[in-house]
Amino acid sequence: MNKKRPSEILFDGFNVCFLVLFSVICFYPMYYVAVASLSNSSMFLAHRGLLLKPLGFSTNAYSMVFRNPMIVQGYLNTGFIIIVGVTLNLLMTALGAYVLSRNGVLLKNLIMKIIIFTMFFSGGLIPTYLLVRGIGLYNKIWALILPNAISTFNLIIMRTGFMAIPISLDESARIDGANDYRILFRIILPLSMPVIAVLLLYYSVAHWNSWFSAMIYLRERSLYPIQLILREILIANSTEAMLGDSSDVAQIGETVKYATIIVTTLPILFVYPFLQRHFIKGIMIGALKG
């Protein structure tokens, strides 16, 4: 029974080869970027074709990146947005999820409908933009935080998590005299840590990746989050943003670009294999909802 037929060996062989090839395709671009960033810039510019190891070794590009005040500032801004934003996100989402997971609340279904509707129909880009300008958030970092205080999808994930907690727990707490706030913060939240972890990740990644709102709402460059700086360097090819004040050696540009990518992507890529489990859990909870 355990003996493999030749056709099966062929089948497995093909399968494994294909998966390996595929992994290489997914991995190589990042590897190329890493190698390119460590290369000597003039040698790199003259080179054609694939790279397997750095061409000459130079960390010039990195010192260039770290000397760039815009990147440091961008990191700080993004850090602020993530810390303040995610705290607000989790607080608001927890409140909403608590309300929507209680029984015997008369207007619950109405509130649910009001919330769900926004998932499927929105006023659109321009009215939202006019609103944010209208309430005086233009050119303020809060324009990136307040309008995204709750993601409805995440709210539903948290609600699913809350509903999995046995109702008898909060009934007994109520008999002991705990009110709703106490129940939420002392009983429900400590018991929902796995869901909180998932949402912490989801919200952080969303803030980390976001660049468009920053582009339309912020005018002052000192407020720019890191992704918007990256956009200037990578997409608009602005050497001014790339090299900061020091305008020497334009030819180093190409490798500086790659070094910037590494500096802004590596932290996440290092952390993520350890967090993978939580992300996947989030997908599963979200899928159960249907």
Partner 1 sequence: MWCKVLLIDMIKDKRSQNRSKVNQNSDTYEKAFEAAIKFSRVVQNIKADFKKNKLIYSMALPVLCYYIIFHYAPLYGAIIAFKEYTPGRGIWDSPWVGFRQFTAFFNSYYFARVMKNTFLISVYELCFGFPAPIIFALMLNEVKNKYFKGTVQTIVYLPHFISLVVVCGLIKAFTDSNGIINDIIVLFGGTESSLLLNPALFKPIYVLSGVWQEIGWGAIIYLAALSAIDPQLYEAAKLDGAGRFKQVVHVTIPGIAPTVVILLIMRMGRMLNVGFEKIILLYNPAIYETSEVISSYVYKVGLQQFNWSFSTAVGLFNSVINFMLLILSNKISRLLNDVSLW
Of 104-133, binders to partner 1 (CB under 8 A) are: 104-107, 111, 114-116, 118, 120-131
Residues 129 to 168 in contact with partner 1, rule: CB under 8 A: 129-131, 135, 146-147, 149-150
Residues 177 to 216 in contact with partner 1, rule: CB under 8 A: 179-181, 184, 205, 208-209, 211-212, 216
246 Cβ contact partners less than 8 Å away, ≥ 6 residues apart? 64, 67
Site string for partner 1, 215-244 (x = CB under 8 A): -x----------x--xx-xxx---------
- In this structure, what token pair is assigned to residue 171? 């009934």
Q: How far is the CB of 264 from partner 1 (least distance, A)?
A: 7
Listed ranges 63-71, 160-168, 240-248, 268-276: which one lies at the site for partner 1 (CB under 8 A): 268-276
> Rg of the chain's alpha carbons, rounded to an integer?
25
Q: How far is the CB of 193 from partner 1 (least distance, A)?
A: 20
Q: Which of 99, 241, 242, 285 binds partner 1 (CB under 8 A)?
A: 99
Q: How far is the CB of 161 from partner 1 (least distance, A)?
A: 17
Residues 36 to 95 in contact with partner 1, rule: CB under 8 A: 45, 48-50, 92, 95
DSSP for 67-128, please give it. Answer: H-HHHHHHHHHHHHHHHHHHHHHHHHHHHHHHHHH-SS-TTHHHHHHHHHHHHH----HHHH
Q: How far is the CB of 246 from partner 1 (least distance, A)?
A: 22
Q: How far is the CB of 59 from partner 1 (least distance, A)?
A: 20
Q: How far is the CB of 149 from partner 1 (least distance, A)?
A: 5
Distance of alpha carbon 163 from alpha carbon 173, whole angstroms: 16
Backbone angles phi, psi at 225, to 5 degrees: -75, 165
Distance of alpha carbon 254 from alpha carbon 242, whole angstroms: 10
Residue 251 interacting with partner 1 (CB under 8 A) = no
How far from chain centre, in Å, is Cα 133? 25
226 Cβ contact partners less than 8 Å away, ≥ 6 residues apart? 71, 74, 75, 77, 78, 264
Residues in the chain: 290
Q: How far is the CB of 58 from partner 1 (least distance, A)?
A: 19
Residue 239: how many CA atoms within 13 Å on its side-chain side? 10
Distance of alpha carbon 134 from alpha carbon 95, whole angstroms: 27
Number of residues interacting with partner 1: please give it, by CB under 8 A: 87
